[in-house]
A and B are shown apart, each in its own frame.
Chain A
Amino acid sequence: MYSFKFHHAKNLQNATELLASNTDAKLLAGGQSLLASMKLRLNNPSALIDLKGIEELVGIEILTNEVFVGAMTRHAQVAGSIELQNVIPGLHHLAGSIADRMVRNMGTLGGSLANSDPSADYPAATLALNSTIFTNQRSIPADDFFKGLFQTALNEHEIITKVRFLIPKRSAYVKFKHPASRYAVVGVFIADFGHEVRVAVTGAASCVFRHAAMESALSKEMSVDSISDIMTPTTNLNCDIFADEEYRSNLITRMAIKAVEKINHL
């Protein structure tokens, strides 16, 4: 790891100032991806600004139609919330499926979204649940947030503060996980809002995306038959040593079928 300066941010204002006054600084949330990439010298920030001490960035608030989760809320807190399990079981299950128990004790929602790893789990829930990402500057609809491989709509000095997830009637997340890392080789989140069904796919392409053909089919009927013949074009799908484009295309349909089965058994 290259050397760097380290700052504990006292509050959001302080974090904003530190970010502005340190060129090439990076925000440190849980650090579970950032530190790993720094150890590999893939990342070389001049300074890290630790957001751990900012209490206003932590917490889960459940309202009638929406749930707010603070950016520094750890995956383990989300996975451990019975209240959340009652309103958005898909999101609750997703958080408990990220990486492993130790990583979940450090990793955060905001860190995962800002990183926008193509195989990360949270982007799928964020997009499918028609969420809004709040920052220290503005609010960004999830539909406009994920821009590509490790790319988001966030600008240089922007800090995610919280995320608003809309509560669907029913939801489920199913992933084909890499057996060692638990990353999604392909993950599908389905959210049924009654008037609309949203389907988000992670792991398959450069970043999370909505699946229009499945959304339209499931909006007509939430059944396995309505999507079992839908094949996703392999253009723009990922190919790596674990899975090629065709395999991933097939996994999208398989994971979506499992998610529909899960929703229909709720």
Chain B
Amino acid sequence: MVSVSININGKVETHFIEERTLLVNFIRENCRLTGTHIGCDTAQCGACTVHLNDKAIKSCNVLALQADGSTVKTIESLIQSDGNLHPMQIAFNEEHALQCGYCTPGMIMSALNLLEMYPNPSEDLIREQISSNLCRCTGYHNIVKAIKSAAVKMNFKNSIA
């Protein structure tokens, strides 16, 4: 057993865990932040995507110990200070980009990292880049539309900020 401290969504979480604890289990079970999902547990589906030091990673394929002393952001961090949803979440809602919703937290964290790398992605680029995330409802069409729509809105917001 070992003590691990991770800054999660602005709050330092220190827990005494087994060395083999995965980051996703640390987030869900120790920190009780269950927005991050476990889908395949084999780093294929992307449902467990979070940001580790501002980079998207699959938290089922990373040990909590590898994130010791780091900063992690999960889907719960996206709530705006006025209580509203993040523009990416609003876009997913408006474009009906979720059916069962299981892949959505990972999709959204992945999509935000995508827009940081490519603020104005083409549809082809979005499709290639979200190959890291699986939607078993196969709702990709509207997910791509939502990311495209969020890109436009977020760029507009940045340009007037």
Contact = CB atoms under 8 A, between A and B. Distances in A.
Contact of A105 (B56, B65, B68): B56
Contacts of B19: 3-6, 48
A6 B65 contact: yes
B145 interface: no
B61 interface: yes
Interface size range of chain A in the complex: 20 to 34
Interface in A152-189: 180-182
Interface string A1-22: 1111110100000000000000
Contacts of A35: 22, 61-63
Contacts of B68: 8
Given A2-B20, A3-B20, A39-B42, A102 B65 contact: no
Contacts of B57: 102, 105-106
Interface of B: 2, 18-20, 22, 41-44, 46, 49, 52, 55-58, 61-63, 65-66, 68, 110, 113-114, 117, 129, 131-132
Nearest to B19: A6
A6 B19 CA distance: 6
A48 B66 CA distance: 11
Interface of A: 1-6, 8, 28, 31-32, 35-36, 38-39, 48, 50, 52, 76, 100-103, 105-106, 180-182
Contacts of A28: 63, 66
Residue with the greatest number of chain A CB neighbours at <10 A, chosen from B20, B43, B131: B43
What are the 3 A-B residue pairs with the smallest beta carbon separation, nearest first?
Answer: A100-B132, A105-B55, A6-B19
9 contacts: A3-B18, A3-B19, A6-B19, A31-B63, A35-B61, A50-B65, A103-B43, A103-B58, A105-B57
Contacts of B20: 1-4, 38
B58 A39 contact: no
Contacts of A38: 20
